[in-house]
Amino acid sequence: MISAIILAVIVLIISIWLRRSKGRIGEHRVAHILGRLPKDRYQVINDLLLRTSSGSTTQIDHVVISQYGIFVIETKFYKGWIYGGENSEFWTQNIYGNKYTLRNPILQNAGHVRVLRQMLKDYGDIPFIPIVAFSRQATLGVSSGTPVIYWNQIRKVIGQFKEKRIAPDALTGIYNKLIESNIPDSKESRREHIRNVRSYEDRRNIAVASGKCPRCGGNLVLRHGKYGSFYGCSNYPRCKFTTH
């Protein structure tokens, strides 16, 4: 009995390590891709850990600073079919008929943009361009106005923005502000971030179980769409939270 429990714990630890390793590999590959952007026009910051106004933390995979806007990139390393809607709380990963859920990365990245917007509010109305990028091992079936693309498409999408929206003298200030705000990478900072993520998940699950929207506090009501039944916030369209 004890040996079976020990084996289960070992398997769990290995699976967590593999997921984190894949995430790190994906981030390193995208960092390499972003490193090929013209350095006279783009400044890249990878793996940014920031303190939010509420005292929590948020981790951003990649930020690209330019006169054309600030690109906020969420990197994903998944296999199989990935499908979901822009406002769905979760997306579905289908691997050989086995279905798994993943948190909607568009919503994850929207949270990153909110933190950056608050942190950089002194620089005026900065345009933020959120991007979610998957490896080619995934097949995407996502309906979204936000770019949900493959890693090798990132530079092309960034290059489509050509209108200069940020003054050149502000770019250095923005870059320095983010670098100064970055929490140094350490075991303790990572542990704290994991605790914050788990705390958010707990608050979210408690709200949903109570029939409340975890974003705005509205009531969750049963709705019916072309893909089946789901629960949506009663404050729609102001709040577009949905869950199954």
Cα–Cα distance, 224 to 205 (Å, whole number): 22
pLDDT bucket at 189, cuts 50 / 70 / 90? low
Cα–Cα distance, 8 to 5 (Å, whole number): 5
Query: Which stretch of DSSP H or E encloses residue 85?
Result: strand 80-85
Reported as a single tens digit per residue, the pLDDT across 1-16 is 555 555 544 443 444 4
What HEC string does 50-80 produce? EECCCCCEEEEEEEEEECCEEEEEEEECCCE
Nearest to 82 by CA among 26, 143, 5, 155: 143
pLDDT above 90 (res 71) = yes
The DSSP bridge pattern shows strands 69-76 and 128-134 to be parallel
Predicted local distance difference test score (pLDDT) of residue 203 = 65
Cα–Cα distance, 110 to 118 (Å, whole number): 12
Reported as a single tens digit per residue, the pLDDT across 25-36 is 778 999 999 999
Domains of the chain, residue spans: 2-187
pLDDT above 80 (res 211) = no
Could you tell me which residues come within 8 angstroms of residue 77 by beta carbon, excluding any fewer than 6 positions away? 22, 23, 25, 26, 134, 135, 137
pTM of the model: 0.74
Predicted local distance difference test score (pLDDT) of residue 2 = 54
Nearest to 126 by CA among 134, 117, 135, 136: 117
Cβ atoms 231, 218 nearer than 8 A: no
Residue with the bigger pLDDT between 233 and 243: it is 233
Cβ atoms 30, 151 nearer than 8 A: yes
Q: Per-residue pLDDT averaged across 197-212, rounded? A: 66
pLDDT above 70 (res 186) = no
Nearest to 62 by CA among 20, 33, 90: 33
Q: Which of these ranges, 74-78, 117-121, 231-235, has the smallest mean pLDDT? A: 231-235
Reported as a single tens digit per residue, the pLDDT across 130-176 is 999 999 999 999 888 999 999 999 999 999 999 999 999 999 999 99
Which one-letter DSSP state was computed for residue 135?
-
pLDDT bucket at 244, cuts 50 / 70 / 90? low
